[in-house]
């Protein structure tokens, strides 16, 4: 299928072609026709599935078809998103896909002075992309009216819940016109999120792509068993692989992220950290440096990394394993996006073994163990892995993932991997 077969108008098709996009992803194939018909949508999809384009393209087309009076612009679309980084990236997507249209958008978020955001609002916009706190703040000051709104998008609803924004979201919903088209996206559907969806959607069509318990098939995964004290040396060792041109490294804590960056600098590896204690300018600078190739490694905490969209990111490294297994799925979803291939590497120490078991249970996958590296774990014990029947599993002994070693393959059955 092509975008042309989805009845996309010529100005948007030209913009997509300029961006190098020819074939819609599964969520785009399913969601775009539904949204062009004006229906509500419940989308269960991870980031990296092409979700932003799945709603941005039809929204631009619907607004363009209205031929609204451009001299008196009123906010017709609100996209509510949990993080500053994601808001900015959604804004970049609207700018790219709508480059040939006479529509205006702006992005507002906290952590920076509001002056330039207020000026953009006062000039008049069609599309507003916002984080909940700054939106409510500017609404209370009288700078934002949503009375003319026709489309509302709630993006990454589960992360809104995780970050404590769900009450702000509910406050925003009370300010919206009852008659509207609503788009609701979430990677997971815990009970509170399902309840919220039920209250704000009207006869929605459901689109589900890559359930949150599974990892992208395009991501090659592996695990290194290592003592906690040796992780920094192992990271330096792994990064000696020239195939790793850029890597997103995850830590559990802000302090841990800063420490990893210091260790990498000592090893003459360019790196920066991105987390909640960094200023907005520092976070954006680090992300820009990473995207532009000025630094090789970006070290991030989970909340800071949510929504990071880096084209052709080849490697994700779990320096520390998350306590919540679904978070692992979100992390490695930073690579292998929209059909591209990627590599996810995990370091597992003695204290993290139960967390790793939980990941295996959630995903139902076998994650191959890298044997023979210079920093094997000193502890004994085994992880019993039961691969799905008739599923081929790849093990890469004595290999750094991403190099040209030929993998050994085995089929089915049960296998115990030594925890070294």
- Kindly state the DSSP code that residue 369 receives in the 8-state scheme: B
Give residue 215's pLDDT. 64
- 261 pLDDT higher than 80: yes
Q: What is the pLDDT of residues 65-86, one digit of tens each?
A: 986 555 568 999 999 999 888 8
Rounded to an integer, the average pLDDT of 368-386 is: 76
pLDDT class of 408 with cuts at 50, 70, 90: very low
Name the band, by pLDDT with cuts 50, 70 and 90, for residue 168: very high
Q: Which of 2-6, 35-39, 79-83, 396-400 has the lowest mean pLDDT?
A: 396-400
Q: Tell me the average pLDDT across 328-340.
A: 76
Residue-wise burial string across 299-326, b where 16 or more C-beta atoms lie within 10 A, e elsewhere:
bbbbebbbbbbbeebbbbbbbbbbeebb
pLDDT of amino acid 333: 80
Residue 253 burial by CB count (10 A; 0-12/13-18/19+): exposed, middle or buried?
Answer: exposed
In tens, the pLDDT along 126-137 reads 999 999 999 999
User: What's the average model confidence in pLDDT over 205-216?
Assistant: 72
Q: Which residue has the higher pLDDT, 175 or 399?
A: 175
pLDDT at residue number 395: 34
Helix (H) and strand (E) counts for the chain? 15, 17
The rounded distance, in Å, linking the Cα atoms of 172 and 4 is 36
Q: Taking the chain, what is the end-to-end CA distance rounded to the nearest angstrom?
A: 46
User: Between 48 and 154, where is the model more confident?
Assistant: 154
* Greater pLDDT, 380 or 223: 223
- Check for a shared fold between 3-209 and 219-418: yes
Q: Characterize the bridge pairing of strands 151-154 and 181-186.
A: parallel
Asked if 326 and 209 touch (Cβ cutoff 8 Å), the reply is no
Which of the residue ranges 216-225, 302-311, 366-375 would you say has the lowest mean pLDDT?
A: 302-311
Q: Which two tokens stand for residue 260?
A: 């990893």
Among 55, 25, 57, 33, CA closest to 43: 55
Asked if residue 393 has pLDDT above 90, the reply is no
What is the per-residue burial (b if ≥16 Cβ within 10 Å, else e) of 124-138?
Answer: ebbbbbbbbebbbeb
Write the pLDDT tens digit of every residue in 5-31.
999 999 999 999 998 888 898 899 999
**pLDDT at residue number 211:** 54
Tell me the average pLDDT across 276-293. Answer: 84
What are the residue ranges spanned by the domains of the chain?
3-209, 219-418
Q: Decide if pLDDT at 270 tops 90.
A: yes
Q: What per-residue confidence (pLDDT) applies to 188? A: 78
> pLDDT averaged over the chain?
84
Instruction: Tell me the residue ranges of DSSP E strands in 88-204.
Output: 105-108, 127-130, 151-154, 181-186
Give me the pLDDT at residue 214, please. 63
**pLDDT above 90 for 294:** yes
Query: What pLDDT does 187 receive?
Result: 82
Q: Reduced to 3 states, what is the DSSP secondary structure of residue 346?
A: strand
Give me the pLDDT at residue 396, please. 35
Instruction: Please check whether residue 84 is in contact with residue 131, taking contact to mean a CB–CB distance below 8 angstroms.
Output: yes
Give the C-alpha separation, 274 to 298, whole Å.
7
CA–CA gap between residue 381 and residue 129 (Å, rounded): 50
- State the Cα–Cα distance between residues 34 and 205, nearest whole angstrom: 7
Fold of domain 219-418: Rossmann fold (3.40.50)
Q: What is the DSSP letter of 3?
A: G
- Residue 122 pLDDT greater than 80, yes or no: yes
How far, CA to CA in Å, does 170 sit from each of 76, 127, 153, 200? 19, 20, 13, 9
Rounded to two decimals, the pTM is 0.61
Tell me how far apart the alpha carbons of residues 195 and 192 are, in angstroms, rounded to a whole number: 5
- Indicate the burial class of 85 (C-beta count within 10 angstroms; 0-12, 13-18, 19 or more): buried
Q: Check: CB of residue 185 under 8 Å from CB of residue 153.
A: yes
Does residue 279 carry a pLDDT above 70?
Answer: yes
Question: Is the CATH number of domain 3-209 3.20.20.150?
Answer: no
Query: How would residue 363 be classed by pLDDT, with cut points 50, 70 and 90?
Result: confident
Q: For position 374, what pLDDT does the model report?
A: 94
Average pLDDT of the segment spanning 225-233? 96
Whether the CB-CB separation of 157 and 82 falls below 8 Å is answered with: no
Mean pLDDT across 173-180: 96
């Amino acid at each position: 299928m092509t975008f042309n077969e989805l009845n996309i108008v010529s100005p948007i098709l030209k913009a997509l072609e300029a961006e190098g996009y020819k074939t819609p992803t599964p969520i785009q194939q399913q969601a775009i026709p539904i949204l062009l018909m004006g229906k509500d949508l419940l989308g269960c999809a991870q980031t990296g599935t092409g979700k932003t384009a799945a709603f941005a393209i039809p929204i631009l087309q619907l607004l363009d078809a209205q031929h609204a009076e451009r001299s008196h612009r009123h906010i017709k679309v609100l996209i509510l998103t949990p993080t500053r980084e994601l808001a900015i990236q959604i804004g970049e997507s609207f700018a790219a896909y709508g480059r040939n249209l006479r529509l205006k958008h702006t992005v507002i978020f906290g952590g920076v002075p509001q002056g330039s955001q207020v000026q953009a609002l006062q000039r008049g916009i069609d599309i507003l992309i916002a984080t909940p706190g700054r939106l409510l703040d500017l609404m209370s000051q009288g700078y934002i009216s949503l009375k003319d709104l026709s489309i509302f998008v709630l993006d990454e609803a589960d992360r809104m819940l995780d970050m404590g924004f769900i009450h702000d979201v509910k406050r925003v919903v009370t300010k919206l016109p009852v008659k509207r088209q609503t788009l609701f996206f979430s990677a997971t559907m815990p009970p509170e999120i399902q309840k919220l969806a039920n209250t704000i959607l009207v006869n929605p069509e459901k689109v589900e792509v890559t359930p949150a318990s599974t990892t992208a098939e395009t991501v090659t995964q592996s695990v290194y068993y290592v003592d906690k004290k040796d992780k920094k040396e192992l990271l330096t060792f792994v990064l000696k692989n020239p195939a790793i041109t850029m890597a997103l490294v995850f830590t559990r804590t802000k302090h841990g992220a800063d420490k990893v960056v210091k260790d990498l600098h000592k090893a003459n590896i360019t790196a920066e950290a991105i987390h909640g204690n960094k200023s907005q300018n520092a976070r954006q600078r680090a992300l820009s440096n990473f995207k532009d190739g000025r630094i090789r490694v970006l070290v991030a905490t989970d909340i800071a990394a949510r929504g990071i969209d880096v084209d052709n990111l080849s490697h994700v490294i779990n320096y520390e394993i998350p306590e919540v297994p679904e978070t692992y799925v979100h992390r490695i979803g930073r690579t292998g996006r929209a059909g591209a291939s990627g590599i996810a590497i995990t370091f597992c120490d003695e204290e993290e073994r139960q967390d790793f078991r939980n990941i295996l249970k959630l995903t139902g996958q076998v994650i191959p163990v890298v044997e023979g590296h210079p920093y094997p774990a000193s502890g004994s014990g085994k992880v019993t892995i039961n691969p799905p029947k008739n599923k081929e599993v790849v093990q890469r002994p004595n290999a750094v993932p991403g190099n040209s070693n030929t993998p050994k393959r085995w089929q089915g059955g049960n296998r115990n991997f030594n925890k070294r």
